[in-house]
């Protein structure tokens, strides 16, 4: 329980201009002293800590201000200059208001500059500003130069990439003349052990498992006579695969173009397609880390199709069945040109 006692006080309150000034100083420095409440000077025994006032003759005025050991930072507030009766002031930093300097010059204010390395008149402050301005300007110029150099490097890289990018229009050929190895139909039959193992079924026909002479496993897509998609579409996919090269696109190993026998030989994807991996029947459930990486791989493959080739290729049939997974669960996009892109109609893209 707290007990309060009302004290009679008939004296004049502290000069209003001094009150406004010291309250402004309180807010400027965010001073949170418990006794800095009410009238700064009166009653005398309850005056604010750090203040000395002229009490007894006329209106009380603040003549001394000490804010030492208050952990204050920042510049001298201009409100200090409004304490017209101030005679003593403790150590501060920054620029001295002209009115305080004038009072000090006239001997009306005790103001010591000794031991105050951060307290300055106008000229020293200007020199300090210049001292700090030089490294700031130098840093800004360096940063600007770095941004310019980085921008030039990006422009150069994109121009170089554009020049190196093979134009899809250059692939308008009837035959499959590329660095990819051509295979005969008899070789295809040998690779697949006479088409023994079917690992997939698509619009062009069946996909068979095969092994090259160097023991490299491959997938062989063979165009069937009953295919829903014709020769031109099959040829278009082959020509597309011969010009796109990216870690997140299924690579073409070779091809067969022998009479009515058409086949494409792809790198083998040990973990099949994403649709099966997401199936409830698959015992190996993909964790979220693996799913996120698959999404990133797929996005990188699409970015290459959209940005890495001129003109760009639009997949238009992206689905889990067309996202294949390597032995290390790296995702690669397949069938990105299948029946969707025609080499003689690039304007549709």
- Convert the pLDDT of each residue in 294-308 to its tens digit: 999 999 998 998 888
Q: Is residue 257 part of a domain?
A: yes
Domain with 309 in it: 181-341
- Of 69, 88, 112, which closes a domain? 112
Q: Does residue 314 share a domain with residue 196?
A: yes
Respond yes or no: is residue 317 known to be catalytic: yes
Q: Which residue has the higher pLDDT, 79 or 183?
A: 183
Local structure of residue 285 (DSSP, 8 states)? P
Q: How far apart are CA 305 and CA 337, in angstroms?
A: 10
CATH number of 264's domain: 1.10.510.10
Q: Is the Cα dihedral 171, 172, 177, 180 positive or negative?
A: positive
**Of the ranges 154-158, 211-215, 227-231, which one carries the lowest mean pLDDT score?**
227-231
Q: Does residue 288 share a domain with residue 200?
A: yes
pLDDT at residue 168 greater than cutoff 70: no
The number of CA neighbours under 13 Å toward the Cβ of 100 is: 26
Query: Can you give the three-state secondary structure of 23-47, one letter per residue?
Result: HHHHHHHCCCCCCCCCCCCCCHHHC
Q: Is residue 295 part of a domain?
A: yes
- Of 91, 112, 133, which closes a domain? 112
CATH number of 68's domain: 3.80.10.10
Q: Does residue 48 share a domain with residue 193?
A: no
pLDDT at residue 164 greater than cutoff 60: no
Q: Is residue 5 part of a domain?
A: no
> Residue 177's pLDDT is what?
44
Top mean-pLDDT range of 104-113, 175-184, 336-345: 104-113
Structure tokens at 298: 């797929």
Quickly list H helices, 83-202.
98-105, 122-164, 185-191
Residue in the structure block whose two tokens are 């402050």: 125
> Residue 212's pLDDT is what?
92
Q: Does residue 335 share a domain with residue 247?
A: yes
pLDDT at residue 167 greater than cutoff 50: no
Q: Is residue 39 part of a domain?
A: yes
Q: Does residue 311 share a domain with residue 200?
A: yes
120 φ, ψ (degrees, to nearest 5)? -150, 160
> Residue 95's pLDDT is what?
67
> Residue 295's pLDDT is what?
94
Rama region for 329: left / alpha / beta (φ>0; ψ in -120 to 50; rest):
left
> Residue 174's pLDDT is what?
39
Structural domains in the chain (count):
2
Q: Does residue 194 share a domain with residue 279?
A: yes
Q: Does residue 216 share a domain with residue 325?
A: yes
pLDDT digits (tens, 9 = 90+) for 106-129: 777 766 666 555 666 554 555 555
Q: Does residue 293 share a domain with residue 206?
A: yes
**Contact of 270 with 198, CB cutoff 8 Å:** no
Q: Does residue 97 share a domain with residue 213?
A: no
Q: Is residue 124 part of a domain?
A: no
302 φ, ψ (degrees, to nearest 5)? -65, -40
Per the residue annotation, which of 15, 39, 214, 317 is the catalytic one? 317
- Of 83, 112, 141, which closes a domain? 112
pLDDT at residue 7 greater than cutoff 80: no
> Residue 211's pLDDT is what?
94
Q: Which residue has the higher pLDDT, 31 or 296?
A: 296
Q: Does residue 326 share a domain with residue 221?
A: yes
Q: How far apart are CA 268 and CA 259, in angstroms?
A: 26
Average pLDDT of 206-216? 91
Q: Is residue 209 part of a domain?
A: yes
Q: Which residue has the higher pLDDT, 195 or 136?
A: 195
Q: Is 221 annotated as a binding residue?
A: yes
Q: How far apart are CA 260 and CA 238, in angstroms?
A: 15
**Contact of 192 with 268, CB cutoff 8 Å:** no
Share of the chain above pLDDT 70, in %: 71
pLDDT at residue 172 greater than cutoff 60: no
**Contact of 203 with 211, CB cutoff 8 Å:** no
Q: Which residue has the higher pLDDT, 166 or 149?
A: 149
Q: Does residue 307 share a domain with residue 195?
A: yes
Q: How far apart are CA 25 and CA 52, in angstroms?
A: 15
Structure tokens at 179: 């660095």
pLDDT at residue 51 greater than cutoff 60: yes
* Confidence band for 229, pLDDT divided at 50, 70 and 90: low
pLDDT at residue 265 greater than cutoff 60: yes
> Residue 343's pLDDT is what?
43
Q: Is residue 317 part of a domain?
A: yes
Q: Which residue has the higher pLDDT, 283 or 63?
A: 63
Per-residue burial over 149-173, b if 16 or more Cβ lie within 10 Å, else e, is eeeeeeeeeeeeeeeeeeebeebee
Strands 61-65 vs 88-89: parallel, antiparallel or unpaired: parallel
Q: Mean pLDDT across the chain, nearest whole number?
A: 76
Q: Is residue 132 part of a domain?
A: no
Average pLDDT of 78-88? 78
* Confidence band for 2, pLDDT divided at 50, 70 and 90: low
Length of the chain: 349
> Residue 342's pLDDT is what?
35
Whether the model clears a pTM of 0.75, i.e. scores above it, the answer is: no
Vertex 332: Cα angle to 212 and 242 (nearest 5): 60
* Confidence band for 74, pLDDT divided at 50, 70 and 90: low
Beta-sheet strand order (sheet of 261-267): 181-182, 252-258, 261-267, 217-222, 206-211, 198-201
**Contact of 22 with 67, CB cutoff 8 Å:** no
> Residue 187's pLDDT is what?
93
pLDDT at residue 250 greater than cutoff 60: yes
């Amino acid at each position: 329980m707290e007990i309060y006692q009302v004290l009679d006080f008939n004296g004049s309150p502290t000069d209003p201009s001094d009150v406004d000034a010291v309250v402004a100083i309180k807010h400027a420095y965010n001073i949170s002293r418990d006794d800095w409440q009410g009238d700064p000077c009166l009653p005398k025994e309850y005056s604010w800590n750090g203040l000395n006032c002229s009490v007894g003759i006329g209106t009380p005025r603040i003549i001394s201000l000490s804010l030492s050991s208050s952990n204050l930072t920042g510049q001298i507030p201009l409100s200090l200059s409004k304490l017209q009766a101030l005679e003593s002031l403790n150590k501060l930093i920054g620029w001295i208001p002209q009115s305080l300097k004038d009072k000090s010059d006239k001997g009306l204010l005790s103001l010591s500059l000794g031991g105050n390395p951060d307290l300055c008149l106008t000229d020293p402050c200007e020199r300090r500003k210049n001292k700090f301005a030089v490294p700031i300007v130098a840093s800004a110029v360096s940063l600007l130069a770095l941004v310019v150099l980085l921008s030039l490097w990006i422009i150069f890289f994109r121009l170089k990439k554009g020049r190196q990018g093979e134009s899809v229009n250059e692939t308008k050929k009837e035959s499959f003349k590329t660095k990819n190895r051509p295979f005969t139909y008899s070789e295809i039959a040998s690779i697949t052990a006479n088409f023994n193992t079917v690992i997939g079924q698509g619009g062009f026909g069946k996909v068979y498992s095969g092994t090259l002479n160097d023991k490299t496993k491959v997938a062989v897509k063979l165009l069937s006579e009953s295919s829903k998609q014709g020769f031109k579409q099959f040829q278009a996919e082959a020509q597309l695969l011969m010009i796109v090269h990216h870690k997140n696109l299924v690579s073409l190993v070779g091809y067969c173009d022998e009479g009515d026998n058409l086949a494409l030989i792809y790198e083998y994807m040990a973990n099949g397609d994403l649709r099966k991996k997401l199936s409830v029947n698959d015992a190996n459930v993909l964790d979220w880390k693996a799913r996120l990486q698959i999404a990133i791989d797929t996005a990188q493959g699409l970015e290459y199709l959209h940005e890495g080739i001129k003109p760009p290729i639009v997949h238009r049939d992206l689905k889990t069945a067309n996202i294949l997974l390597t032995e290390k669960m790296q995702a690669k996009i397949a069938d990105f040109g299948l029946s969707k892109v025609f080499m003689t109609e690039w304007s549709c893209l």
